[in-house]
Amino acid sequence: MFGAAVTTTYLYAAGDDVPFATKIGGALTRSVALPGGVSVTLGATPSWQYPNLLGHMLVTGNGTNHGAMQLYDPYGQPLGMSAFAIGTVVANRAETTATSRAHTIG
């Protein structure tokens, strides 16, 4: 009816009230907060989470990039990939039509 019991251990350091790592069975995972609100969970299957400007998690990936990457300036304008410039012919034609208007990573 129930599976085998699995022990979960939360690992703390320096008196913090938030664990720096979790051990579930034999698997150790660690979550790390990065600049810009990005968080990464390291373990057997890494997971990256990217927030939008409001801080809500918008995209989750596994750290592997599939396909071409497009960079944008802080106002959402596409940057030319060779010179990273705004307003070039290449930048103006760089749209997300091939990605069905969705930003996906991994």
Low-confidence stretches of the chain (pLDDT beneath 70):
1, 65-70, 80-106
> Facing residues of 29 across strands?
22
SS (H, E, C) 24-55: ECCEEEEEEECHHHCEEEECCCCEEEEECCCC
The reported pTM is 0.50
- Paired tokens of 105: 């990573």
pLDDT of residue 20: 86
pLDDT of residue 98: 46
